[in-house]
């Protein structure tokens, strides 16, 4: 099945249609809520995020499989907190830290999965309206493209990894050699792809001052924003 | 009527390699031209110059008589460039979003952007794929999307770099039909390929490059004997009318 994590997943759900000018700060506020201490807060934010994924009709099984690639990172975080914690039993804080980090990854992923790049760029440009138009346009495109390049990076990573595997070099057997051999072609390929993309953009008359996708906030968008604010307030007051 | 003209066009890379060496080429309105030659003969570099993506080391490129260097990027829409690797050209996360990219760069009003996007979808028969992610399309569909993205800029001349590379029979036929349809609609076509046997029957002109120079420029029928000398495969005993993958 096609990978879904950190990739736009076209759809027409409510989550997809929310105005990105409310969705972006909403996501930031949600992340703030997810970082608040305590297992109860973690459970509430995890529940809210799961509901959002279900609303957005993201295939959870595929997402879960894709998410497994973050397990080494989460394990490293867990172990780091586990061995550095000195208050009470270190198991709970370590698990909470890993859980919070997982939530941050998933919240960012949900934003990317349900918001087209052009809408993110348009929202960023809107937030940067006080800046000169050309600078705002450039920053909007840069942020949008950075988000868009994440799946490109993963794709190149997978191809480079498979190429190494096909030639008998596996991470488990020779991790250091594997990492060195992976990094060089990976970076070369990513730079080549980005250069080709830049050339193609120029070929399509790229300009910093572009027409922006029209955005329109409706009642439901404000309700969404209000719901996130209430969630954050509820969590912060406990 | 001349649309593109290169006058003594030269390009030298920073490492000293001479990629183009005094290229003089005129592209007339409505032509279907094939540009062929060995790898490294300078075809792709020439193509990039026609769009103004490179700065000539010598000579100049004229578009409708005006020096391309003096035109701001947003006015360089006469020539539409379709690169060889379609995957690197997609900047939108859906087909529709990708098609909007060009017109948005031209700062067109929303109604005009919509009109151009719909027209490009219709011409390339991608309307039913509008909400798909570009990377999930088939090889032929990706090529058509790359063409559609350029068509949304409303160019007069379409320059296509190796549009058949990596495509199977059906994909090649699909793309070739699309190119012929665009020519029928009045677009001038400049097609860069070394697989001339797939398309030569439809072309009115064959230009051959070697070592950064144009070494032959004539009707394809006049160059059938000469072309193999420059590394271009011409099937033995083949008639010019057989050189197409469309029955």
The residues near A149 (Cβ < 8 Å, ≥ 6 apart) are A194
Q: Answer whether B88 sits within 8 Å of A213, measured CB to CB.
A: no
Q: Which residues of A touch B129 (CB under 8 A)?
A: none
Q: Answer whether A211 sits within 8 Å of B53, measured CB to CB.
A: no
Segment 43-102 of chain A within 8 Å of chain B by CB: none
Q: Residues B51-67: what's their mean pLDDT?
A: 93
In this predicted structure, the answer to whether residue B116 has a pLDDT above a threshold of 90 is yes
Nearest to B83 among A8, A118, A203 (CB): A203
Please state the three-class secondary structure of A98-163 as a single string: HHHHHHHHHHHHHHHHHCCHHHHHHHHHHHCCCCCHHHHHHHHHHHHHHHHHHHHHHHHHHHHHHH
Q: Residues B93-117: what's their mean pLDDT?
A: 91
In percent, how much of chain B has pLDDT > 70? 99
- Predicted confidence at residue B63, as pLDDT, reads 92
Residue with tokens 């001479």: B18
Distance from the A85 Cα atom to the nearest Cα atom in chain B, whole angstroms = 43
Helix (H, G, I), strand (E, B) or coil at A40: helix
Write the burial class of residue B17 (CB in 10 Å: 0-12 exposed, 13-18 middle, 19+ buried). Answer: exposed
Q: Predicted ipTM?
A: 0.82
Please, what is the average pLDDT of chain B? 91
Check if B187 contacts A (Cβ < 8 Å).
no
A interface test, pick of B79, B85, B105 with most A CB neighbours within 10 Å: B105
Closest-approach residue (CA) in chain B for A137 = B105
Check if B115 contacts A (Cβ < 8 Å).
no
CA distance B144 to B137: 10
Instruction: Please list the rounded mean pLDDT of every run of 10 residues in chain A (238 residues).
Output: 76 91 93 89 92 92 89 91 73 90 94 88 86 80 74 80 84 80 86 86 84 86 90 82
Query: Tokens standing for B46?
Result: 């020439």
Check if B51 contacts A (Cβ < 8 Å).
yes
Closest-approach residue (CA) in chain B for A204 = B102
Which of A156-170, B58-72, B114-128 is least confident? A156-170
Nearest to B91 among A201, A209, A211 (CB): A201
The residues near B87 (Cβ < 8 Å, ≥ 6 apart) are B134, B135, B142
β strands within chain B, DSSP E? 2-12, 18-28, 32-37, 58-63, 66-67, 79-82, 157-161, 188-192, 205-210, 213-218
Q: Answer whether B113 sits within 8 Å of A212, measured CB to CB.
A: no
- Predicted confidence at residue A198, as pLDDT, reads 86
Q: Residues B19-33: what's their mean pLDDT?
A: 96
Check if A1 contacts B (Cβ < 8 Å).
no
Q: Residues B163-183: what's their mean pLDDT?
A: 89
Distance from the A65 Cα atom to the nearest Cα atom in chain B, whole angstroms = 19
How many residues are given for chain B?
247
């Amino acid at each position: 099945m096609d990978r879904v994590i950190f990739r736009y997943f076209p759809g027409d759900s409510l989550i997809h249609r929310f105005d990105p000018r409310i969705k972006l700060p909403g996501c930031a506020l949600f992340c703030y809520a997810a970082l608040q201490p305590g297992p109860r807060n973690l459970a509430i934010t995890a529940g809210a995020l799961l509901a959002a994924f279900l609303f957005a009709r993201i295939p959870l099984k595929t997402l879960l499989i894709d998410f497994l690639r973050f397990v080494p990172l989460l394990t490293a975080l867990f172990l780091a907190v586990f061995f550095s914690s000195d208050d009470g039993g270190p198991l709970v804080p370590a698990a909470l830290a890993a859980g919070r980090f997982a939530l941050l990854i998933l919240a960012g992923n949900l934003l990317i999965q349900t918001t087209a790049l052009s809408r993110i760029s348009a929202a960023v440009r809107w937030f940067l309206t006080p800046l000169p138009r050309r600078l705002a346009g450039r920053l909007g495109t840069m942020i949008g493209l950075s988000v868009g390049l994440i799946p490109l990076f993963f794709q190149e990573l997978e191809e480079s990894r498979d190429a190494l595997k096909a030639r008998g070099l596996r991470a488990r057997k020779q991790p250091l050699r594997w990492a060195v051999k992976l990094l060089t072609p990976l970076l070369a390929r990513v730079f080549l792809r980005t250069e080709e993309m830049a050339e193609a953009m120029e070929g399509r008359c790229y300009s910093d001052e572009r027409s922006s996708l029209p955005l329109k906030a409706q009642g439901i968008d404000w309700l969404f924003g209000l719901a996130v604010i209430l969630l954050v307030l509820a969590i912060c007051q406990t | 009527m001349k649309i593109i003209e290169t006058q003594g066009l030269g390009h030298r890379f920073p490492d000293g390699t001479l990629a183009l060496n005094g290229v003089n080429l005129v592209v007339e309105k409505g032509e279907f031209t094939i540009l062929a030659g060995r790898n490294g003969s300078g075809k792709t570099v020439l193509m990039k110059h026609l769009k103004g993506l490179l700065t000539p080391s010598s000579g100049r490129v004229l578009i409708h008589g005006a020096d391309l260097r003096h035109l701001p990027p947003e006015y360089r829409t006469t020539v539409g460039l379709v690169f060889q690797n379609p995957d690197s050209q997609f900047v939108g996360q859906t087909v529709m979003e990708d098609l909007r990219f060009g017109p948005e760069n031209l700062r067109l009003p929303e109604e005009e952007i919509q009109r151009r996007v719909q027209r490009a979808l219709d011409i390339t028969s991608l309307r039913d794929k509008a909400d798909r992610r570009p990377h999930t399309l088939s090889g032929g569909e990706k090529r058509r999307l790359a063409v559609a993205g350029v068509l949304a800029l409303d160019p007069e001349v379409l320059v296509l770099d190796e549009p058949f590379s990596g495509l199977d029979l059906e994909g090649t036929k699909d793309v070739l039909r699309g190119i012929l349809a665009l020519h029928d609609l009045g677009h001038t076509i400049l097609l860069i390929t070394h697989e001339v046997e797939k398309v030569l029957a439809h072309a009115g002109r064959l230009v051959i490059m070697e070592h950064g120079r144009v070494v032959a420029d004539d009707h394809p029928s006049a160059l059938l004997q000469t072309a193999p000398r420059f590394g271009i495969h011409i099937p033995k005993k083949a008639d010019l009318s057989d050189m197409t993958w469309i029955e």
